[in-house]
Structure 1
Amino acid sequence: MKTKQKIIILWQYFICLFVFTLTFAWAANKDVTIKVLENQSIRDISKQYLNDPDLWADILTANKLSSPHEVQPGIHLKIPVEAIASAHHLLNLSLEAIKRATSEGARIFAPRIISDAILKRNNAIRQRKVGNWSECKSLCTQAVILSEKARKICIKSQNSPAEAVVNFHQGDVHQRKPTDNVWKDVALYDLLLENDRIRTLSNSFAEILFKDNSRIQLKQNAQALIRKIRANLLENTQESSVKLINGDILALLSGKKSNQFDIQLPHVETSIRSRHFWVSRDKKITRIANYDGEIGIDSAGKQVVLEKNQGTIVKDKQKPQTPTPLLPPPTLSSPQKGAEIYKPGFVLQWEAVKNAQSYIIELSYNNTFTAIINSIALKKTSFQIPSDLKQGTYYWRVISISKNNLPGRPSGTSYFHLIYDTHPPYLVINHPVDNSVMKSETLVVSGITEKKADLKLDNKTIPLKADGSFAFTIPLHDGKNSLTFKAIDRAGNETIAHRTVTRIIKEVDLVFAPSLKQKKQNHFLTNSKAFELSGKTSPNATLTVQQKSNSKQQKISTIANVKGQFNMTLKLNGTTESFDISVVSEVDQELKKTFTVEVDNIPPEIIFDEPIPPITNKKKIVINGHLSDGELQINGKSVLLKQQKFNYDCLLINGKNLIQIKAIDMVGNESLVKKVVILDQQAPEIKKYHISGGKNVKGGDMIKISVFAKDDTALRKSAPFNIFIEKTKLTGFLQLNEKQGKYTGTVYVPEQIHGKITKMHVTLSDYLGNERGYIVNKRKG
């Protein structure tokens, strides 16, 4: 005890000496006013005057600046060296004092005092962010004094009577003493004595901390009775007993062999030789899962022993089931351990465990899971973090639940840092200076930004060195070059800086677009009263056009884009007009030109050397002639012109052929000639025929012949025929009735001829020369 008192005295002496040293060290250099030098960043200044480059944000706060890129060469900065440095060191000192008191047991023996110390330090951090360093130092000093007070109480309380304390609670947690008629809300660090009851409601959680550092965690909808808390100070032992009325509890015992801990359950006797186990009581069923050592269980005359990672189920007044292995812990997959998360609502994920029917995910403020925020049962293997989660470090783990509702050992613990960083990253552009003017075709860009920031120049990512500096070369186009730098830190905060660099060219130039149709140089043709003038000149140059013959007419102006391209519409009143155009560059160089615009809306003329035949039996016809001006297309194909003359072989297909001949001049005027040519290479076709008379004819009989024919063009008016009576041949001609498409004719049988008509031969032809002979050996067909 004397040794501990000496340590306290030495610790208090150290605090006083440290505060005095700080005050003395900076007393002669309280405030410094400096002028920012060329190529000097805010981090360089912080390192030089505060011995820490990461204290640059305090310098910005002291000068009411919002972003590092506002720190430009030539401006003056006021640096309260003593205030910033001493506040920073006292914040570190108060943190160490709080940790030291906590390690001595302040959370059990002086919970409210140590909580007040933590609150003082948190308020000190807030005061530092707004530049109130004197208040920050005062709060840190109070936090140190409170921490030491809590440490003294811890040392004095080591021989006090045994008791338990509500170490953490979340949601609706109540307690009831033997003398109370109603349940009362639990406050953090409330003491629990023998025969006190404690319960949790839905979505609630509580942890009871015993003096020997054993812990009992009550899950939601649980109720327990503190049966016994006895301590033998001489023998340094403790005996504790808790009765589980309903719900789930998780036991995390200190493991001292001299201490005894017992869980009382209806109709079940337990002998606990384990430091880590889970017990559930629900609807006359008790479930027990053991994660360490062994637990003896006795019910209805049967005894079983739960080994490590085994579980069992005991129904009231029945024998315990044979112990079964618990499911293995899940493997946590994402995010990575220690990941920094800058936005809430992200997803935690783990790998599925075979035979698991569900999982419990636990989210805690600490890695011992004595301050659980969420304990949620899920069927899936992922969990989305609540969007209202505050900034801080959080720990999580997952438990597999078997089909008989026994929880396995928890997974390994992972953690993540949820960071709400609203401070924009610093960004300093050392070169170029804004509004620079140069002749070089390239530009060297250099500067520095926050480490691990994402730097973009006009939306293109710029690689950074390890310290956040950068240097690279970019091409410059003529005229103004606008550069936009954007630094984005891992929290998504942005700092934007702009630079304008103008590249001067020797003289301004003007080139009209090649797509404009020119009769001769600077004499343009158009087929419209609205002429689209376009071309290229100096970037961002101003162009002004005015009609030459009418100085009172309003001028038309436009500005070329960053590539020097321009476009403007001129309204024309006559058929030929002249204009003056003036070009003024960004550096006030001027160029003047004159041009003429002529309106041509007369389509080109197509003249054929020979008319195109409407009908032909030739597969290829020749189309020839000449064109007044422009280009020629036949059926969409360009035709070669020689001195505006054309000669084109056009292939035909059977039947109708549409031939389209189009002429287009340079301004888009068109002429179109359409011709239909029929290709007929088919001879006429007999549709039906009839030969009059009986089976036998004799001299003096008259034979009538009729033939119906069809042709795609025009049948000839007569058709020669031969008719055979036995071996005698009679000849003649059939005449055409055009309306009916019918040939008719007669033949008289000579007196000496008689017999049977054996066959007839008739020849049909059209006016294109297509001809075919037909032989028929029937009287009709």
Structure 2
Amino acid sequence: MKLKLWISFLVIVWGCSTYATAQDSPLVFQAEKLQEIAQQYTGSTINWPLVVNLASHNTEQNTFTITPSQLQELQNFSQVSAEVLKQKDRVSELISSGATIFASDEYQEVQSLITEYNKAVNDGVIEDAFDYGNRLKASVDSMETALFENRVIDVQAQLTEKTGQVDRREGLLGSWIDAMKGDLFEQSDGIRTFAESYAELSFLDGSNIQVEPNTIAVIRKSRIDRLNDAGDTEITLEDGGLLAKLSAAGKNRSTYTLNAGSSSSELRTQNFYAETDDSDLVKLTNYDGEVIVNSNNVSITIRENEGTIVESGKAPMQPVKLLPSPSLTWATIDTVVNNETIIFAFNEIEGAQNYRIQYDQSPNFTEDVVEVQTTETSLVMDDLPMGMTYVRVQAIDALGLRGPFSKTARIIRTVDNTPPPVFVDNLHNDLLFTSDGSLQITGATESEARLVVAGENVQVQPTGRFSYTVSGVQTIKDITITAADPSGNKTTKNIQLVRLTEEKLYNFRLRSALNSTLSAIRSGSTTFSGNLYPGIEVTITNETLTERVRTDFNGNWGVTLDLVPGELKIEFRNANTGILYSSKTYTVE
């Protein structure tokens, strides 16, 4: 009883603070005070016709008189007037939300009531104004209900990919039946995969949910706002794993909620993974944007490449950084092979407990996915089909959280009978020269070739370059170079390493009219000639005169000079690179 009295008191005080209260004696006022009286007793100057219609008018004195009962009637109407103004504001908001399109009939009814209300006020018919004003709120409520019922509609998700046995359940109480590609899933429908099956559900905004093996999930809600195409989707993961891949529109405009165990996650990401073996433990990993995770009335935010674990009845674990994606040891992401076996190798990630490798002929990994978990940093892939195979790997930490996938490598299996080329630098007629008995053999082949030089395995760089050092060459040494590609095609190249000794280089002849020899070179016309190997340049300089000559295909060389007394210098160089092998100086008499 006391509570009711206090409420009544507060209502009266509030009313007195806003509007004038009725009085015991008639109110007499001049005509120019008409709008002021309307504002004072009805809450708005626009209600002055009601005052005019209720009051008696003294035309000689141009005054109006209102009785106490009429003042009370006006004051009662002030509440209706205030409510009408409030409802008009609501109507404006609902129009901006699409009421004229999605609740057109109800909108027309509201507009009709407002029109009749305004007419009743303008005509001064307070009874009709009361009637239309009191009916307006219920009519606006109906318009709002119709708006959101028609604007927000239930939509269906479609099974766009499936591998192996996939089941569907219509409603929460339905039975599991075979699901077919193209089936539509509605609110409360379930999807189930088995040990070697995958599925993908696609939504109208371009987002999709990839359902991993041994998974049961239920679409709790799937709606779309037809005004702005914003979706509202809620999915419950009962067991297994889901990868949510939201489109840009889904991330920015739609609301996606994923329930797993005791957690509820609001997705603001394009790449999110949830996994649960039962209802007590949930692993959540985010690879883009952010996700708000709530459990046990505690919320955390996991950002890009972060994860968390949620146990039933507990707050989510604070976000942890995921392990980085493994880098591939291959020089490029594209590899062409010609046999059915290849070794997929990647670099070790510190802290990784194991690695998860997937390969498939679909770039989205949604067709015939082969999945392998291993502690090794390589995998022998057998029975590669012809054409393109896509492969990727991710590292898993001690908590069981999966890091981001590596770049997707593409393996192209084709029929190839072409052996890899082998190019050796500075090679001339399969000969390489050395003046001191040691030599570095350099060259290039295919980056994926296996190279053997002189019976030893030699590493090939990602660019295809290789290098091999030989020492102890006395005269001539035969070297075999073999390159084999992954298809088994081979190229063999036989070369000779030749040591250019002084005995060989300076074993040349001199012919002149004065019978010159190396120990006594005379001035005048002199011919120098000798036999070495192809690819050598001989340079003879006598004071200001220089002559150069290259050995021919058989290694022969010769040149004639008119010698003058003074210094004579003879040099032997590589004809292609200019490398100096030997040089001697003589005196011309």
Report the TM-score range of the alignment, normalised by the length of the smaller protein. 0.3 to 0.5
Flag the structure with larger Rg: 1
Higher relative contact order structure (alpha carbons within 8 Å, sequence separation ≥ 6): 2
TM-score by length of 1: 0.33
TM-score by length of 2: 0.43
